[in-house]
């Protein structure tokens, strides 16, 4: 106010006038999101993995905790090698992977078509969403006793647990991905002569596929959890079963080795689906 | 049977008792280039959507060569303001989409797609994904994709509305050129595989109905400009634009052009004011 009136008045303000130092500096508001350089990001990633490992190693090396509770990294490594050599670990691993393949595969085979229908057909959404919305809040693990009564302690009850744990979430997430297809794209396809089936297979499916794979990636993690839970409760093979065996003999080093393996397998599944999504959804980035 | 597009007492209400279009009557002959202008909310896009068959009228009907339009189809190609391309398909495969749906043999398809991409000046981008294209290039692909099916009518819904001013002018010249060059199927009697020859004779030019809110664009492109009023939603003026052909950008500076443009602008402005006044009362 003061500056404008004095310059516009023109009587005093000389052309060499400098801004007065007493004027308030321009306001400065920070954005919420921040970024770091690529190099820093890689260092932080290394710290994320190596930090906890180093802490574990330091804790056990210092002798602060009884090795029966917290075995050293070296002991865990040896226990893992032992189990791998004896052939226990490979056969348990195969048993667990077979279950996730069957259970998760079945869940995907059910949930993707149902989710697709929910995302496209007007009647499927109001018919299915309320039921699925309730069912998905029932914890799948709570069904274990019922599943054992119904299906016995063999493979079917474990696969059923996996399906129950994954199918509802994956259906709703698939339906969401399908609904993301822009309406304009569907309209334009019809004006180009594409009928409903062609639009479903040539427009909606390719557009939704990256989202569908993302949903699968999230739910594969849940499925991998449910395999181990099922095997902890009742099994004669699998990684979860191997943990209960080790517990009986207080072999914490073996439990740790199996936990590490479970983590590594989970990460591998995640990375594989990530790569698949990257290939399928190259256009989406 | 009348050749071309006939719209008969077309009425559309989204809310009962409040028609967006209220008894629209208009005939568009084969090979015409018609622009529809009107203030926002005047139901321009609704009119186009009704012709395309994406919306059903409340009453009245749209006839194409004497047959009532009951739904969308490749004989009425549609281009939206924002390019609705298939982002996972290459430019060439976007243009080929309609031909695939029509079951046109691969060899014919490839030949036509290549020809069309050349015609719209994108031959070098045939293998690119749409995400790499500029807004103007994307609209060229959309137009080529609609033309590939040899439509009897090309419907353009503010196709250049989202482009910057320079690109928009380029595209105006381009769409005029396409209209001159590309022989589609305005009479509706040729097989879909008939070649889209260049240049097209006046009898095989595409029929174009273009909606725009830009009066200058409408007067420059249209051989006929329809002014749509909002209350009631009717064609309030039907103006033949008597400017020399072929039209070049220089025309935009000629006194004749400026005079017609000013007159149409006055009409649209009056409609807009009247609409605002009715809304306020």
Q: Evaluate the CA torsion angle B256, B261, B262, B267 in order and state its sign.
A: positive
Contacts of A283 in chain B (CB under 8 A): 87-88, 129, 131
CA distance B136 to B155: 17
ipTM exceeds 0.95: no
- Our CA-based measurement puts residue A213 at a distance from the nearest CA of chain B, in whole angstroms, of 16
For the segment A220-237, the average pLDDT, to the nearest whole number, is 88
- B18: phi then psi, degrees, rounded to nearest 5: -125, 80
Cβ-defined contact of B54 to A189 (cutoff 8 Å): no
Between B76, B101, B146, which is nearest A194 by CB?
B101
C-alpha distance from residue B64 to each of A98, B53, B157, B234, B240 (Å):
60, 11, 19, 20, 22
Cα of B201 to nearest chain A Cα, Å: 25
Please give the pLDDT value at position B195: 65
Residue B173 to chain A, least CA–CA distance (Å)? 24
- C-alpha span between B241 and B260 (Å, rounded): 8
Lowest mean pLDDT among A142-151, A194-203, B15-24, B194-203: B194-203
Q: What's the pLDDT score for residue B43?
A: 84
pLDDT of residue A1 exceeding 50, the answer is no
Span B1-59, pLDDT tens digits: 567 889 998 888 888 888 888 889 999 988 889 999 987 767 888 999 999 999 999 99
How far apart (Å, rounded) are the C-alpha atoms in residues A203 and B89? 10
Bridge partner list, B228: B38, B235
pLDDT surpasses 70 at A187:
yes
Structural domain boundaries in chain B = 5-49+56-212
How far apart are alpha carbons A255 and A8 in whole angstroms? 81
- Distance in angstroms between the alpha carbons of the first and the last residue of chain B: 45
- Domains of chain A, by residue range, sit at 73-284
pLDDT at B249 over 90: no
Comparing alpha-carbon positions, the chain B residue that sits nearest to A191 is B73
CB atoms within 10 A of CB B103: 9
Name the least confident of A254-268, B1-15, B21-35, B119-133.
B1-15
End-to-end CA distance of chain A: 49
Residue A208 has pLDDT above 60, yes or no: yes
Here the tokens at position B42 are: 């005047």
Residues of B contacting chain A (CB within 8 angstroms): 52-54, 71-74, 76-78, 80, 82, 84, 86-88, 97-98, 100-102, 129, 131, 145-146, 149
- Is 90 exceeded by the pLDDT of residue B269? no
Question: Which residue has better confidence, B193 or B22?
Answer: B22
Measured between CA atoms, the residue of chain A closest to residue B53 is A191
CB atoms within 10 A of CB A80: 18
Query: Facing residues of B229 across strands?
Result: B234
Distance CA A282, CA A224 (A): 27
Q: What residues of chain A lie within 8 A of the CB of B84, using their CB? A: 182, 184-185, 187-188
- For the segment B159-187, the average pLDDT, to the nearest whole number, is 82
pLDDT tens track for A59-105:
888 888 888 888 989 999 999 999 999 988 899 999 999 999 999 99
Mean confidence (pLDDT) of chain B: 86
- Burial of A19-36, coded b for 16+ CB within 10 Å and e otherwise, reads eeeeeeeeeeeeeeeeee
Stronger pLDDT, B186 or A60, i.e. the higher one: A60
Q: Minimal CA–CA distance to B67: which of B188, B195, B243, B226?
A: B188
Cα distance between residue B36 and residue B178, in whole Å:
19
Q: What is the pLDDT of residue B104?
A: 86
Of A72 and A22, the structure prediction assigns the larger pLDDT to A72
DSSP-based three-state secondary structure for A95:
helix
Q: Is the pLDDT of residue B165 over 70?
A: yes
pLDDT category of residue A215 using cuts at 50, 70 and 90: very high
Q: Are the beta carbons of B84 and A203 separated by less than 8 Å?
A: no
Q: What's the whole-model pTM score? A: 0.83
CATH of domain A73-284: 1.10.3720.10
Residue A193 contacts B, CB cutoff 8 Å: yes
- CA dist A107 and A116 (Å) reads 14
Tokens of A203: 């427009």
Distance between B78 CA and the closest CA of chain A, angstroms: 7
What's the pLDDT band for B190 if we cut at 50, 70, 90?
low
Q: Which pLDDT does position A9 carry in this prediction?
A: 46
Which pLDDT does position A62 carry in this prediction? 87
**What band does A176 get if pLDDT is binned at 50, 70 and 90?**
very high
Tell me which residue in B82, B87, B98 faces A192 most closely, judged by beta carbons.
B98
Length of chain A as a residue count: 285
Inter-chain CB pairs, A–B, below 8 Å? 65
Is the pLDDT assigned to residue A11 strictly greater than 70?
no
Predicted local confidence at residue A2, as pLDDT:
46
The residue of chain B with its CA nearest to that of A195 is B101
Strand stretches in chain B, DSSP E: 5-15, 18-28, 33-38, 59-64, 67-68, 76-79, 153-157, 207-211, 224-229, 234-240
- Mean of pLDDT over chain A: 88
Say if the Cβ atoms of A188 and B78 lie within 8 Å: yes
pLDDT above 70 coverage of chain A, percent: 92
Residue pointed to by tokens 């500096």? A25
pLDDT at residue number A45: 94
The beta-carbon neighbor of B88 closest among A189, A193, A283 is A283
User: Is A187's CB within 8 Å of B76's CB?
Assistant: no
Look at residues A136, A98, A121, A134 and name the one whose alpha carbon lies nearest to residue A204: A121
CB < 8 Å to B158, chain A: none
> So what's the pLDDT on residue A10?
47
Q: Of the spans A111-120, B23-32, B170-179, B227-236, which averages the highest pLDDT?
A: A111-120
CA dist list (Å): A206 to A180, A192, B77, B110: 12, 17, 23, 22
A187 touches chain B (CB under 8 A): yes
Q: Which of B72, B100, B129 sits opposite A283 (nearest CB)?
A: B129
Q: Count Cβ atoms within 10 A of the Cβ of residue B232 and give its class: 0-12 exposed, 13-18 middle, 19 or more buried.
A: middle
| Range scoring the smallest mean pLDDT among A19-23, A202-206, B69-73, B173-177 | A19-23
**Nearest 5°: CA angle at A238, between A237 and A239?**
135
Nearest-CA distance B224 → chain A (Å): 25
C-alpha distance from A274 to closest chain B C-alpha (Å): 18
Which numeric CATH code is attached to B5-49+56-212?
3.40.50.300
């Amino acid at each position: 106010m003061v500056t404008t009136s004095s310059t516009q008045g023109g009587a005093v303000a000389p052309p060499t006038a400098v801004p007065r130092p007493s004027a308030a500096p321009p306001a400065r508001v920070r954005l919420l999101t921040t970024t770091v350089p690529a190099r820093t990001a890689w260092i932080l990633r290394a710290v994320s993995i190596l930090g906890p490992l180093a802490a574990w190693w330091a804790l056990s090396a210092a002798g602060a905790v009884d090795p029966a509770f917290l075995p050293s990294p070296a002991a865990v490594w040896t226990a893992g090698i032992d189990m791998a050599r004896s052939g226990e670990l490979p056969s348990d691993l195969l048993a667990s992977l077979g279950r996730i393949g069957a259970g998760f595969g079945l869940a995907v085979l059910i949930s993707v078509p149902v989710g697709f229908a929910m995302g496209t057909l007007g009647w499927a959404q109001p018919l299915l969403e309320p039921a699925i919305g309730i069912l998905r809040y029932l914890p799948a693990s709570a069904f274990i006793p019922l599943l054992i009564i119904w299906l016995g302690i063999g493979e079917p009850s474990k696969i059923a647990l996996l399906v129950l744990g994954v199918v509802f979430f994956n259906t709703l997430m698939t339906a969401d991905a399908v609904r993301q297809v822009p309406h304009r794209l569907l309209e334009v396809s019809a004006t180009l002569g594409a009928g409903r089936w062609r639009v479903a297979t040539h427009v909606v499916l390719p557009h939704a596929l990256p989202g569908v794979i993302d949903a699968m990636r999230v739910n594969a993690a849940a499925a991998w959890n449910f395999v181990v839970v099922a095997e902890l409760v009742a099994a004669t093979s699998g990684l979860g079963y191997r943990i209960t065996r080790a517990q009986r003999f207080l072999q914490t080093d073996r439990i740790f080795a199996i936990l590490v393996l479970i983590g590594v397998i989970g990460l591998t599944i995640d990375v594989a689906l990530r790569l698949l999504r990257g290939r399928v959804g190259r256009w989406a980035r | 049977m009348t050749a071309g597009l006939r719209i008969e007492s077309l009425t559309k209400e989204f809310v009962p008792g409040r028609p967006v279009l209220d008894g629209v009557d208009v005939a568009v002959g084969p090979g015409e280039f018609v622009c529809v202008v009107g203030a926002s909310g005047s139901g321009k896009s609704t009119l186009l959507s009704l012709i395309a068959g994406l919306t059903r009228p409340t009453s009245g009907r749209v006839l194409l060569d004497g047959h009532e339009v009951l739904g969308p189809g490749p004989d009425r190609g549609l281009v939206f303001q924002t390019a609705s391309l298939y982002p996972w398909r290459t430019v060439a495969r976007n243009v080929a989409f309609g031909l695939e749906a029509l079951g046109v043999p691969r060899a014919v398809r490839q030949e036509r797609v290549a020809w069309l991409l050349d015609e719209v000046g994108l031959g070098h981008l045939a293998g690119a994904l749409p995400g790499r294209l500029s807004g103007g290039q994307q609209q060229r692909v959309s137009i080529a994709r609609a033309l590939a099916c040899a439509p009897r009518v090309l419907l353009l819904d503010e196709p250049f509305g989202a482009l910057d001013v320079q690109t928009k002018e380029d595209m105006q010249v381009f769409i005029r050129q396409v209209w001159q060059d590309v022989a589609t199927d305005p009479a509706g009697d040729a097989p879909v595989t008939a070649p889209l020859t260049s240049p097209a004779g006046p009898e095989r030019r595409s029929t174009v109905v273009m909606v725009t809110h830009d009066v200058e664009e409408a007067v420059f492109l249209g051989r006929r400009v329809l002014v749509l009023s909002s209350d009631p939603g009717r064609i309030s003026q039907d103006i033949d634009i008597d400017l020399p052909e072929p039209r070049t950008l220089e025309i935009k500076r000629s006194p004749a052009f400026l005079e017609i443009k000013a007159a149409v602008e006055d009409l649209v402005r009056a409609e807009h004011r009247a609409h605002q006044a009715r809304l306020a009362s």
